[in-house]
Amino acid sequence: MSGRFGGDRAEITESYGDTTVDVAPADWIELLTYVRDDLGYAYFDWLTGVDDPPDAFVVVAHVYHPAAHERLLLRTRVPREHPHLPSAVGVYRGANWHERETYEMFGVIFDGHPHLVPLLLPDGFEGHPLRKDFILAARVAKPWPGAKEPGESGHGAPSRRKTLPPGVPADWGPPDA
């Protein structure tokens, strides 16, 4: 791996017995092709995004070498302002569904994808719900479940100041519960 990408194009780390390779977005397709064709990682397992505020998304792919029974985690960082990455569908056809889901949930655009359209969310849904800055309106529309604070169980015990659930901005007002 280091012979192909050199010390400055790929960072290879070991953690808990798994090997991880980090590359720049420009090297993404070359890395996927290299591990499939030259190293034998023929099985594409999954691909997803990770929101890494404040400036990037990390795209992560997991591939497997069936004969050697080895896993490999491949990662690249795309900037939040311009979240574009070449599509891996030409290398691993199984990436199709995963790229569509990552596009829908995080807003990462996979250039060259054959059919990059929403997959899971209802028609007209706005936003990308797995981004950390996405406001979960359901947390405001419905009372926070469970009696976590004194007095919330409805048994008349004294109540402390009510707080908003995690992920709800302070300017959305106090909860109705």
Whole-number Å distance between alpha carbons of 99 and 91: 13
Average pLDDT estimate for 10-27: 94
Whole-number Å distance between alpha carbons of 54 and 41: 33
- Judged by average pLDDT, the poorest of 33-47, 68-82, 123-137 is 123-137
Cβ(27)–Cβ(10) under 8 Å? yes
Q: Whole-prediction pTM value?
A: 0.77
CA angle 119, 60, 90 (to 5 degrees): 65
> Beta strand pairing status for 56-65 and 10-15?
unpaired
What's the pLDDT tens digit per position in 83-98? Answer: 999 999 999 999 999 9
- The beta strands (E) that lie in 7-162 are given as 10-15, 18-23, 43-52, 56-65, 70-79, 84-86, 109-111
Q: What is the pLDDT of residue 136?
A: 74
What's the pLDDT tens digit per position in 22-69? Answer: 999 999 999 999 999 999 999 999 999 999 999 999 999 999 999 999
| C-alpha distances out from residue 4 to 14, 18, 28, 56, 141, Å | 18, 20, 13, 26, 53
Domains of the chain as residue ranges with CATH: 10-111 (3.30.460.80)
Residues 103, 106, 108, 110: what is their CA dihedral angle, to the nearest 10 degrees?
A: -20
Cβ(101)–Cβ(85) under 8 Å? no
Cβ(135)–Cβ(167) under 8 Å? yes
Residue 32: CB atoms within 10 A of its CB come to: 24
CA angle 91, 97, 98 (to 5 degrees): 80
Average pLDDT estimate for 130-157: 65
pLDDT at 158 over 80: no
